[in-house]
Structure 1
Amino acid sequence: MILTDRLGRVLMHLRDDLPGIAWPGYWSLPSGLAEPDETPAEAMARELREETGLSLPLTQRLDSPPGPDGDRVVFFTGFWHGDPATLPLTEGVKLEFYSLSGLAGLRVPPFVTEALQQLRASGLLGGAAD
């Protein structure tokens, strides 16, 4: 999910650098997989609570077609303006807000960068450019 603050920055999650997990050591978005019989919206709301302790309204923005493994990436957006250091970190290393330009020097999965660029180009990502 793509959470922005009133400055247009995006909340990023530094993932653990452990073998066997997706994108180890990368800055990504708070996210996760749907459980059986769970809709993407339900999964994202649950993952948001589990990873950050937040319960926020989310809006579905992007839905990519299934990849070769059958998985589909669905992006939701939401708004929260607070200090990420106050959130209960239940997995990963850190949560931090970044401007899109601030992400340039970080290791970010390509699909996350692409989604952020698409949302910015469509005007749905507000001022998250700088």
Structure 2
Amino acid sequence: MPEKGEHTSYDGIHSQHQFMVDRVAAIWIMRPDGTALLQHRDDKPEIRHAGLWVPPGGHADPGETMLECARRELREETEYEASDLQLLMTLDRTYDDGVAYQASIFWCLYDEVQTTVCHEGQELVFVKRSEATNHPMPTFLLDVWDAAAVAAKATTEVSP
């Protein structure tokens, strides 16, 4: 057990202790025009970002890599199988309640073939970036969305 105030990673098991860091993955499924697949979170006060729009994702299981976590969460929440997930960034956030997260942010291009099914939250829809104001979300996610859109566009641009 770490000393009080010492930070350590704790294999993604949610902890009430301030020194633990939850490992989570978020997955941005993108279209080349910047449209993203978003999940409308359940409106339950006990969950983080209740009632807001976020990309699919969740907590890592013990011993699971973040890529494995991302693939599993995406499959469980949407039935989408993404073989080409790419790490976009890693964010460290500590919320007002003292819970700290290390979020691995992944992205991939939507294959336009598979359907998505909402197994978690209220709804799962593709949202145009220009319509983000109609979908309340944590403000820090707007910058992440923009970064994922840049990556998606760069991947689909053809070099002369």
Category of TM-score, reference length = shorter chain: 0.7 to 0.9
Deviations 1:2-43 (A, max 9, x none): 101354310010111012011111011001011111111110
Query: What is aligned with 1:63?
Result: 90
Query: What is aligned with 2:147?
Result: 118
Selected match of 2:128 from 93, 99, 114: 99
Which letter does structure 1 place at the counterpart of 2:87? Answer: Q
**Aligned length, in residue pairs:** 124
- Asked if the contact 1:4–1:81 (Cα under 8 Å) also holds between the matched residues in 2, the reply is no
Segments of 4+ moved more than 6 angstroms? none
| SS at structure 2 position matched to 1:103 | helix
The answer as to 2:29 corresponding to 1:3 is yes
Query: What is aligned with 2:68?
Result: 42
Greater strand content: 2
RMSD: 2.2
| SS at structure 1 position matched to 2:88 | strand
Which letter does structure 1 place at the counterpart of 2:89? Answer: L
Query: What is aligned with 1:18?
Result: 44
Structure ranking higher on relative contact order (CA contacts 8 Å, 6+ apart): 1
**Partners in 2 of 1:103 and 1:66 — Cα distance?**
22
Query: What is aligned with 2:16?
Result: none
Q: Cα–Cα, structure 1 residues 66 and 21, in superposed 2: closer, same or farther, change >3 Å?
A: closer
Deviation at 1:114, TM superposition (A): 2.1
Structure 2 portions without partners, runs of 5+: 1-26, 155-160
Deviation at 1:106, TM superposition (A): 1.8
The answer as to 2:51 corresponding to 1:51 is no
Identity of aligned residues (%): 27
**Partners in 1 of 2:113 and 2:131 — Cα distance?**
17
